[in-house]
Amino acid sequence: MRQPHGQTPHRAEALRLVKVTKTYGTRADGGTGAGEGTAIRALDDITLSLPAGTFTAVMGPSGSGKSTLLHCAAGLDRPDHGLVMVDGEEMTDSAKPPRGEAALTRFRRTRIGFVFQQYNLLPTLTVAQNTILPLKLAGRRVDRDRVERTLTAVGLGDRLGHRPDQLSGGQRQRVAIARALVTEPSVIFADEPTGALDTRSARDVLGLLRDAVRIHGRTVVMVTHDPVAAAYADAVQFLADGRLAGHLGAPTADAVAERLAHLGDDVATGV
Nearer to ligand ATP by C-beta: 59 or 231?
A: 59
With a CB cutoff of 8 Å and minimum separation 6, the contacts of 245 are 60, 64, 238, 239, 263, 266, 267
- Whether 260 contacts 252, CB under 8 Å: no
With a CB cutoff of 8 Å and minimum separation 6, the contacts of 73 are 15, 17, 20, 84, 187, 189, 221
Nearer to ligand ATP by C-beta: 87 or 226?
A: 226
Nearer to ligand ATP by C-beta: 119 or 126?
A: 119
Question: Is 170 near ligand ATP (CB under 6 A)?
Answer: no
Question: Is 64 near ligand ATP (CB under 6 A)?
Answer: yes
- Min. distance of Cβ 167 from ligand ATP in angstroms? 25
- Min. distance of Cβ 97 from ligand ATP in angstroms? 24
Backbone φ, ψ for residue 178 (5° rounding): -60, -40
Question: Is 62 near ligand ATP (CB under 6 A)?
Answer: yes
Nearer to ligand ATP by C-beta: 81 or 216?
A: 81
Q: Which of 9, 35, 53, 63 binds ligand ATP (CB under 6 A)?
A: 63
CA distances 229 to 15, 166, 244, Å, are 21, 26, 20
Cα–Cα distance, 242 to 62 (Å, whole number) = 11
Nearer to ligand ATP by C-beta: 178 or 239?
A: 239
Cα–Cα distance, 88 to 191 (Å, whole number) = 23
Question: Is 79 near ligand ATP (CB under 6 A)?
Answer: no
Nearer to ligand ATP by C-beta: 71 or 159?
A: 71
- Whether 169 contacts 201, CB under 8 Å: yes
Identify residue 224 by its one-letter amino acid code: T
Question: Is 66 near ligand ATP (CB under 6 A)?
Answer: yes
Q: Which stretch binds ligand ATP (CB under 6 A): 6-14, 63-71, 83-91, 263-271?
A: 63-71
Question: Is 196 near ligand ATP (CB under 6 A)?
Answer: no
Nearer to ligand ATP by C-beta: 80 or 211?
A: 80
Short-list 70, 66, 59, 68, CA closest to 259: 59
Q: Which stretch binds ligand ATP (CB under 6 A): 11-19, 56-64, 88-96, 129-137?
A: 56-64
Question: Is 194 near ligand ATP (CB under 6 A)?
Answer: no
Short-list 172, 163, 180, CA closest to 198: 172
Buried b (16+ CB within 10 A) or exposed e, 225-245: ebbbbbbbbbbbbbbbbbbbb
Binding mask 19-48 for ligand ATP (x = CB under 6 A): -----xx--------------x-x------
- Min. distance of Cβ 16 from ligand ATP in angstroms? 20
Identify residue 253 by its one-letter amino acid code: A
Positions that interact with ligand ATP (CB under 6 A): 24-25, 40, 42, 60, 62-68
